[in-house]
Structure 1
Amino acid sequence: MQQRQLGKAGPHVSAIGLGCWNFAGAYGPTSEKESHETLAAARDLGITLLDTANVYGMGVSETVIGSYLRDNPGHFKLATKAGIRRNPDSGERWFDNSDEHLHSELEASLIRLGVDHVDLFYIHRREATRPIEEVVETLQRFQREGKIGGFGFSEISPASLRLAHAVAPVAAVQSEYSLWTRQPDLGLVQACKELEVAFVAFCPLGRGIFADQAPDPATFGKQDFRRSNPRFVEPNLSRNLAAIAPFKDYARDLGATPASLAIAWLLARGPHVIPIPGTRSASHLTDCVQGAAIELTPAQIAEIEQILPAGFAHGDRYSAAQVIGVETYC
């Protein structure tokens, strides 16, 4: 698989990574065995970047990855995150980017993953009242201690990225980005390119909306993130499925699957863009990876964007409860 770089001085990784939120049951029940099979498939497919976080299942995702790595060391570059505090009983969450909290959470992540350092450590959500420059100084100390390689920020604005990058080079920014979530096009993708920062695109398949089989709310479990997500609630869901149907037809006309074409579109946004689809299925992952082999022409990109113009989606990408902590801009 083609390679892309995690920042100007970071390691090269596969152009498509694997998002590991699903290992914690975000989109339905799963098992350690199923997750290990997906990790084995990722390795066989040439994927070298795994993306997780301390709060994915309150440590479940990291623990599952760690148990796989004990028997299969090496190969993968690891990215994890911290900065969100969550009450497991009430579900209440808040943000803490203090040195003390980030240090303790990083140490706990390293134990669960079974490693002595991670290649990329993100601030999961920015604590609005704490200067981002102070947070960068904390992250630089983690680098000096050998606990992390590069550092990054998730769901921040271009302005915040520039403030952080002025203190020390940011390796990566992670935000939701796909054909139906285009806000990063309003400055963040461009700022990352200018500053030579990797843009890691999570939910590149729109939480399953671009899969061959349309998501069925009747199958959503109690913990499924989409149960309360505006784009998957009627009447928005039916409207979105109708809008996406011509795109799926176009993919098949090109001899591709909708998922692989959606990934190919993202890869064409720039050599610094790294999609990280999340799945519990080895076959679905194989479908995603096929996107790296598709080289879209300018005419094909124009056709895709005519079928699915920016802003076509019905409903906000997050509910009011889900959007807390995300920096908005423009």
Structure 2
Amino acid sequence: MKQRRIGAAEVSCLGVGGMSFSDMYGATTEENSFAVLDLAREVGVTHIDTSNIYGMGRSETTIGAWLKANPGARDGLHIATKAGITKDAEGNRCFDNSPAHMEAELDGSLKRLGVDCVDLFYAHRYQAEIPPEEVAGTLGRLVEKGKCRAIGLSEIAPATLRRAHAEHPVAAVQSEYSLSTRAPELGLLQACAELGTALVAFSPVGRSLLTDHPLTREAISESVFLRTNPRFTEPNLTANLEMVAGFRALAAEMGLSAAALAIAWTLHKGPHVIPIPGTRSVAHFRELVEGAEASLSDAQLARVEQVLPMGWCHGDRYTAAQWVGPERYC
């Protein structure tokens, strides 16, 4: 597996997104999650990226159980988790980047994962009321305490990254980035390259749109997140499925699965980009690995962008409610 860097650490160019170890995109089992992690270890995927809120701790607990069942596996892994999304007294979603909250949540994550330290700890959502320098300082003190080795931020603007990085090196920024979501190219991709920060790309296969088997309407209707998401509601869903048909045909012509081509394209967007697709399927994970091993020529990249040009996707990536938290910067 090709290698890239997150801070001082060398990691596989492809990571595993831990959201699929919960029921976010459909019911799963510990057995399924273990099988994906087993294959990841077998093929040399070393970066595992999760969060305390994925299944309200379930993803971390599953990873922790797998580590316990595989003595010695921790030494070869780069484990990241996130915190900062919580609920207020009325049960409404809010964000808390305070030192006490972030440390307490990290302590809970370490317990569920069964480790003394994580390699990367992100603020899952930046709390706008707190200056970025303070958030970076809060996370940096957790590095000093030995509870994490590097810090990251998620869904932030380039200006926020620059301010935070001036206080403490930001090893990674996590952002949605794929052929269907290209906003990071409007400053974030460039800022990360300039500062030596990895861009950890979540949903690199467009929440299934950029695969040979997009989620069925039935599966979408069962997902709390997708059934209201603009890209997965009509008439946008039908329009998007029509658009990706050409992409699937191009992938087949190139001898790749659609998911593999989507991953390969993402990796070709910069040596600091690390996609972290999530899946409940070993077969699908093999397709993702295929993409990490593929090499695309300039001519092939141009053909991909001809089939799916910038801005092709119908519908915003989030609803108004889902947009609460991520920073818009363009």
Give 3-state SS (helix, strand or coil) of 1:94's partner: strand
Q: CA shift at 1:223, angstroms?
A: 4.1
Q: CA shift at 1:224, angstroms?
A: 4.2
1:23 corresponds to 2:24 = no
Instruction: Name 2:146's counterpart in structure 1.
Output: 146
Q: Distance in 2 between matches of 1:112 and 1:69?
A: 11
Are 1:28 and 1:224, in contact at CA under 8 Å, matched by a contact in 2?
A: no
Q: Structure 1 residues 185, 148: closer, same or farther in 2, change over 3 A?
A: same
Instruction: Name 2:173's counterpart in structure 1.
Output: 173
1:13 corresponds to 2:14 = no
1:49 corresponds to 2:47 = yes
TM-score (norm 2): 0.97
**Where does structure 1 lack aligned partners over 5 or more consecutive residues?**
none
- Equivalent position to 2:34, from 33, 36, 50: 36
Q: What amino acid does structure 1 have at the position aligned with 2:25?
A: Y
Instruction: Name 1:259's counterpart in structure 2.
Output: 259
| 1:25-174 map, 5 Å | 25-72=23-70, 73-74=73-74, 75-86=76-87, 92-174=92-174
Q: CA shift at 1:225, angstroms?
A: 2.1
Q: Distance in 1 between matches of 2:89 and 2:40?
A: 31
Are 1:45 and 1:286, in contact at CA under 8 Å, matched by a contact in 2?
A: no
Q: CA shift at 1:300, angstroms?
A: 1.0
Q: What amino acid does structure 2 have at the position aligned with 1:2?
A: K
Q: Distance in 1 between matches of 2:139 and 2:82?
A: 12
Q: What amino acid does structure 2 have at the position aligned with 1:161?
A: L
Are 1:97 and 1:123, in contact at CA under 8 Å, matched by a contact in 2?
A: yes
Give 3-state SS (helix, strand or coil) of 2:14's partner: coil
Which digits, 9 at most, give the CA deviation of each residue in 1:123-147, with x for residues without a partner?
0000001111111111111111111
Instruction: Name 2:317's counterpart in structure 1.
Output: 317
Q: CA shift at 1:106, angstroms?
A: 0.4
Q: After alignment, is 130-139 or 263-272 more displaced?
A: 130-139
Instruction: Name 2:216's counterpart in structure 1.
Output: 216
Q: What amino acid does structure 1 have at the position aligned with 2:9?
A: P
Q: Distance in 2 between matches of 1:240 and 1:87?
A: 37
TM-score (norm 1): 0.97
Aligned pairs, number: 327
Give 3-state SS (helix, strand or coil) of 1:5's partner: strand
Q: Distance in 2 between matches of 1:141 and 1:191?
A: 24
Q: Distance in 2 between matches of 1:211 and 1:287?
A: 9
Q: CA shift at 1:214, angstroms?
A: 2.3
Are 2:5 and 2:272, in contact at CA under 8 Å, matched by a contact in 1?
A: yes
Q: CA shift at 1:37, angstroms?
A: 1.2
Q: Structure 1 residues 29, 166: closer, same or farther in 2, change over 3 A?
A: same
Instruction: Name 1:227's counterpart in structure 2.
Output: 227
Q: After alignment, is 116-125 or 242-251 more displaced?
A: 242-251
Q: What amino acid does structure 2 have at the position aligned with 1:80?
A: T
Q: CA shift at 1:220, angstroms?
A: 3.4
Give 3-state SS (helix, strand or coil) of 1:173's partner: strand
Q: Distance in 1 between matches of 2:244 and 2:230?
A: 16
Q: Distance in 2 between matches of 1:45 and 1:143?
A: 30
Q: What amino acid does structure 2 have at the position aligned with 1:327?
A: E
Are 2:220 and 2:232, in contact at CA under 8 Å, matched by a contact in 1?
A: no
Q: Distance in 2 between matches of 1:181 and 1:123?
A: 21
